[in-house]
Amino acid sequence: MDRKQMCVANVQYKKPSADGAKQSKNLLRYLTYRESRDEAARHVAGRERWMDHGMGGSVAEIAQRCDDLKSEHVLTFSLVMNPSPDLIGMVAPEKREQFVRELTEQVVDDFFEARGIDTGIEMSYVLHHRLTDDPQAPGLHDPHTHIVLPGTVYDEEHGQRVPLFFSRNRKVNHIEMLHDVTEQTMVTQMERYVGPDWEQRYDELAAVRERECQIVADEPHGVMLDDKGESRNVWCGTRRTDEQQTAVGFYRYYPAPTEDDPDALRLEFRPLIAGLQHEQAGFFAQVLAQEMNGEMDKLKELAGLLNGMSADQRAVLIEEVGGYERTARDVSPDFEL
């Protein structure tokens, strides 16, 4: 896998101005009372929301510490630590929160140690449990942390606090250093929580998805209108969600213009039925491709019927039409079963 995509680690800062202080408090409130833009926090009772490592455990405390420890140019730094949902999906659900907390604390410790700041640095962080809004794989568990750092750090050699900075030049690139430390820590975490074969298992998942995309080499199963009213071919197929589940939906090409190629197209998958067993998903994808008769409305109608069934009802339906050994060409299931 591309290890640079294992975990997103972004850095931003607020200026020590009236506007910067207002923005910082608004950010702290958002981090305290939201899981994402669309979901309120699960815990809003106060101190248990934040992990306090010297910057406070509430909006008021953290805001005050940021002001106390600001530099001439920086009120506060904020970092986001967001592991790939595909990798998080390989971690046992009951261990994911611990995984992300350990990742966060270890990355911060190792990053500042690599910078030669042996005294450590104050921080507080909050863990969010949002769900992905990726159109190809919506609703996946996407735990991540938001970290608050001060604008200054204690310099043992000078015996006082000095401005904290994140350089990004030829001599030293702290952002690249942060990404390298994050990558190394993610590898260690995956080996501990998933096993030494985690990367092989991820590559197998990616290989399955690549094979699933090859369905577009066949004749399209229908057409649909895009946002501009233009007809686009569609293929009914599957996309492996994780090691346990597969989604059924459709593939299509959509405009993705670039400076070099204004007519460029990109292949995307849109799920219609999620959470199926791999074999079951493959079966229903073939059936729907046959039964939609080239009509997107029909495909969505049939997918809606399958979504309305329980897992047991779908299993009964498959059994009624002869089971997995029957090819989709030989079956015409009665969705009213």
CATH assignment at residue 93:
3.30.930.30
Q: What is the DSSP string of 280-310?
A: HHHHHHHHHHHHTTEEHHHHHHHHHHHHTS-
Structure-block tokens of residue 118: 């042996």
Verify that 25 and 163 share a domain, yes or no.
yes
| Pairwise CA distance, residues 202 & 42, whole Å | 31
Verify that 225 and 316 share a domain, yes or no.
yes
The answer to whether residue 47 sits within a structural domain is: yes
Q: What is the DSSP string of 226-251?
A: -TTS-EEEEEEEEEE-SSS-EEEEEE
Q: Among 171, 196, 221, where does a domain finish? A: 196
SS3 79: strand
Verify that 9 and 65 share a domain, yes or no.
yes
Task: Give me the chain's average pLDDT, please.
Answer: 91
- pLDDT at residue 251, as a whole number: 97
| Residue range of the domain that includes 177 | 3-196
The amino acid at 206: A
Provide the strand spans (E) within the chain.
7-14, 34-36, 39-40, 50-53, 76-83, 123-131, 141-150, 152-155, 160-163, 222-225, 231-240, 246-255, 265-276, 294-295
Q: How many helices (H) and strands (E) does the chain have?
A: 9, 14
The answer to whether residue 207 sits within a structural domain is: no
Closest residue by Cα to residue 181 from 114, 116, 127: 114
The answer to whether residue 202 sits within a structural domain is: no
A 10 A CB-CB count for 92 gives 10
323 phi-psi bin (left φ>0, alpha ψ -120 to 50, beta other): left
- pLDDT at residue 334, as a whole number: 61
Verify that 191 and 245 share a domain, yes or no.
no
Verify that 129 and 238 share a domain, yes or no.
no
Number of domains in the chain: 2
Structure-block tokens of residue 213: 């995309």
- pLDDT at residue 168, as a whole number: 82
CB 96 within 8 A of CB 190: no
How many CA atoms lie within 13 Å of 9's alpha carbon, on the beta-carbon side? 24
- pLDDT at residue 337, as a whole number: 44
- pLDDT at residue 77, as a whole number: 97
The answer to whether residue 73 sits within a structural domain is: yes
Residue written as token pair 């002001």: 67
SS3 11: strand
Verify that 237 and 187 share a domain, yes or no.
no
Structure-block tokens of residue 165: 């900075």
Residue 82 CA: distances (Å) to CA of 11, 60, 136, 278: 12, 25, 18, 28
pLDDT per residue of the chain (337 residues) written in tens, 0 to 9: 888 889 999 999 999 999 999 999 999 999 998 777 777 776 555 446 899 999 999 999 999 999 999 999 999 999 999 999 999 999 999 999 999 999 999 999 999 999 998 888 999 999 999 999 999 999 999 999 999 999 999 988 888 999 999 988 878 899 999 999 999 999 999 999 999 999 999 999 999 999 999 999 999 999 998 777 888 999 999 999 999 999 999 999 988 888 889 889 999 999 999 999 999 999 999 999 999 999 999 999 999 999 999 999 999 989 887 777 755 555 566 655 4
Q: Among 154, 171, 196, where does a domain finish? A: 196
Verify that 285 and 140 share a domain, yes or no.
no
Q: Is 116 exposed, middle or buried (0-12, 13-18, 19+ CB in 10 A)?
A: exposed
Residue written as token pair 């649909």: 224
Residue 152 CA: distances (Å) to CA of 11, 12, 18, 69, 273: 15, 15, 19, 6, 50
SS3 37: coil
| Pairwise CA distance, residues 336 & 312, whole Å | 14
Verify that 217 and 150 share a domain, yes or no.
no
Q: Which pTM does this prediction carry?
A: 0.88
